[in-house]
Structure 1
Amino acid sequence: MGAAMAGRLREAGIAVTVYNRTRATAEELAARTGAVVVATAREAAAAADVVVVSLADDAAAAGTYGGADGIAVGLRPGSVVLETSTIAPETVAALAALAEKQGAVLLDTPVSGSVAFAEHGELIVMAGGPAEALERARPVLNILAARVIHVGGSGAGAVMKLALNSVVHGLNLALSEALVLAERSGVAREMAYDVFAASAAGAPFVHYKRAAFVHPEDAAVGFTLGLVAKDLELILDRAERAGVPMEQAAFNLRQVRAAGEAGYADRDLSAMADFVRGH
């Protein structure tokens, strides 16, 4: 997702400086887009007034912001950090405090949409944090997103993303089970999927994941089942803190963990259908 957003910004003529913990990944992106590669997250942060961050999980965020070569120490006073990762609101608070010490502002701006949505500037952004900082970052966000929704103060974007992903991951499992049910009962896979897509169940997720579900043998990895498990753990932690029972999410996590133990952790989330087929 980070590479897709960087590519989109370069297409719009924005100067982009990139850092990736795997340097070869950054260099491949630079070769395609003309972005500038630097050796540390500190250097990348120091090069920009708007810093866009996309990381896998909370541990990666803590590691990339902290330390002598981390994002935080490189931030310019007055800069805005757009933290697009799916992380806990508690982590957002800790990162925002690091940014504030440097005279910068961190907004939690997780996104909804696939890599293709990022490439075409069609993401949905859920923003948490000060409105004034959001307005300063809008020229960048408007290149990446079809809609930017300011959902509240710091941490609100992270909360909203977890709530949204509880729906998406629930849909992923329901779609997987329903598709296999139709197949086992004699309905062709492609035909069944067409019905789902045309019905009340036809959310954008169902449409953009069609190829992955219909032709799983050719499915590129857009979002791994391992990351789905991480999201569901964050969702259930937030639910416990908020006093909200989420039995569907708990069952979903058990199923995703079982898929991971069966060797599916690094496959695309649509591989839940293959996991169901094997049981």
Structure 2
Amino acid sequence: MKTIGVIGLGNMGRGMALSLQRGGFEVVGTDASATTRATLAAEGVPVVDSIKDVVAKSDAIVLSLPTAAIVAQVVAGADGLLSHPKAGVLVIETSTSHPDTTRQLAAQLASVGMSLIDAPVSGGPKGALAGTMTMVIGGSDEDVARAEPVLMAMSAKRVHVGGVGAGHVAKIANNLLCAAHLAIAGEVTRLAEKAGVPTERLLSGVNAGSGRSFVTEFNFPTWVSSGKFDSGFTMKLMRKDVRLSQELIGALDIDLPLSRKVADLWAVSAETIADDEDFNRIVELGAARTKA
């Protein structure tokens, strides 16, 4: 693979395109926004105006899009990938999407000689730009092996968890855990503060014990205790991912009461924490009431 197309050049797609270019690939990108396309062109990434032009130039195509509906539109909608089939092209879907949508799109692409793997990412815009993201990957052994040089240019850790759609199952599970860890960490730090134990000292103790998590070890010092709240991942995006978890749980017809409660908390947070706020702000949910 020599030329990689990137569709979706926002916070994540921009970093991936630049990492791929730095990794020695020819890159061609496109985005629905003309302004975004112009920004990437100014950074030295060749851009085109249409998906058709991306397909024509590419050996593989990376999708970095915000929702399953937009992924479906880009693949199967008017003037999408299926309208411009090119046998042998591998589609790498890095969004957090619904596994059933992913499997359906993979089958449609296979019917025209194209392949799809799902490789949703963690690490935020900084990780995308640095090429240090983590990917959980769903796809056939053959397709994942074929994609490895491309994935390596964008990520530091890659875990192949199963067939097509499995990557998105794993990513939904990961983000549901992160959403839960943030919510409970916000509550226990307020509990400790009220009982006279400062957050910094509490976390030093927790992180030396069995209660630690990535949230207490990394999110808190990096974005919460520092007051920066600038991870690059918004409340809106995490709310979307938590909703995806509930859709998957519903489709599987299983009863997961704690997961449902986490989803309820994230949904009600929309009343006090705006969509464009950093997702770590969930730790502040109920803080004013606690102080009162």
The two structures have a TM-score, normalised by structure 2, of: 0.86
> Which of 134, 158, 161 matches 1:151?
161
**Offset at 1:188?**
3.1
**Offset at 1:144?**
1.7
For the residues of structure 2 that align with 1:104 and 1:127, how far apart are their CA atoms? 17
User: Percent identity at matched positions?
Assistant: 30
Query: Structure 1, residues 126-156: CA drift from partner, whole Å, max 9, x if none?
Result: 2212211111111101112223222211111
**1:146 alignment partner, SS class:** strand
The 1:2/1:89 distance shift into structure 2, 3 A limit, reads same
2:37 matched residue in structure 1: 26
For the residues of structure 1 that align with 2:248 and 2:131, how far apart are their CA atoms? 30
The 1:47/1:182 distance shift into structure 2, 3 A limit, reads farther
Question: After superposition, where does 1:1-279 map in structure 2 within 5 Å?
Answer: 1-32=12-43, 34-209=44-219, 210-216=221-227, 218-279=228-289
Stretch deviating more after TM superposition (193-202 or 233-242): 193-202
The 1:49/1:21 distance shift into structure 2, 3 A limit, reads same
For the residues of structure 2 that align with 1:25 and 1:181, how far apart are their CA atoms? 44
**Offset at 1:268?**
1.2
In the alignment, is the contact (CA less than 8 A) between 2:269 and 2:285 conserved in 1?
Answer: yes
**2:26 alignment partner, SS class:** coil
**Offset at 1:118?**
2.7
The 1:138/1:240 distance shift into structure 2, 3 A limit, reads same
Query: Structure 1, residues 69-92: CA drift from partner, whole Å, max 9, x if none?
Result: 323333421011011111111110
**Offset at 1:198?**
4.5
For the residues of structure 2 that align with 1:89 and 1:13, how far apart are their CA atoms? 31
Query: Structure 1, residues 77-108: CA drift from partner, whole Å, max 9, x if none?
Result: 10110111111111102221332233110111
The 1:247/1:198 distance shift into structure 2, 3 A limit, reads same
The 1:247/1:13 distance shift into structure 2, 3 A limit, reads same
In the alignment, is the contact (CA less than 8 A) between 2:273 and 2:281 conserved in 1?
Answer: no
The two structures have a TM-score, normalised by structure 1, of: 0.90
For the residues of structure 2 that align with 1:202 and 1:6, how far apart are their CA atoms? 34
In the alignment, is the contact (CA less than 8 A) between 1:182 and 1:189 conserved in 2?
Answer: yes
Q: Supply the AA of the counterpart residue of 1:162.
A: I
**Offset at 1:60?**
1.5
Query: Structure 1, residues 141-184: CA drift from partner, whole Å, max 9, x if none?
Result: 11122232222111111112112222111111112222222233
The 1:183/1:22 distance shift into structure 2, 3 A limit, reads farther
In the alignment, is the contact (CA less than 8 A) between 2:15 and 2:125 conserved in 1?
Answer: yes
The 1:52/1:86 distance shift into structure 2, 3 A limit, reads same
2:4 matched residue in structure 1: none
2:6 matched residue in structure 1: none
**2:148 alignment partner, SS class:** helix
Structure 2 runs not aligned, ≥5 long = 1-11
**Offset at 1:221?**
4.8
For the residues of structure 2 that align with 1:52 and 1:46, how far apart are their CA atoms? 14
The 1:106/1:194 distance shift into structure 2, 3 A limit, reads same
For the residues of structure 2 that align with 1:211 and 1:255, how far apart are their CA atoms? 23
In the alignment, is the contact (CA less than 8 A) between 2:16 and 2:129 conserved in 1?
Answer: yes
Structure 1 runs not aligned, ≥5 long = none
In the alignment, is the contact (CA less than 8 A) between 2:234 and 2:279 conserved in 1?
Answer: yes
After superposition, the CA RMSD in angstroms is 2.1
Q: Supply the AA of the counterpart residue of 1:234.
A: L
**Offset at 1:115?**
2.8
In the alignment, is the contact (CA less than 8 A) between 1:172 and 1:269 conserved in 2?
Answer: no
For the residues of structure 1 that align with 2:177 and 2:148, how far apart are their CA atoms? 27
In the alignment, is the contact (CA less than 8 A) between 1:43 and 1:74 conserved in 2?
Answer: no
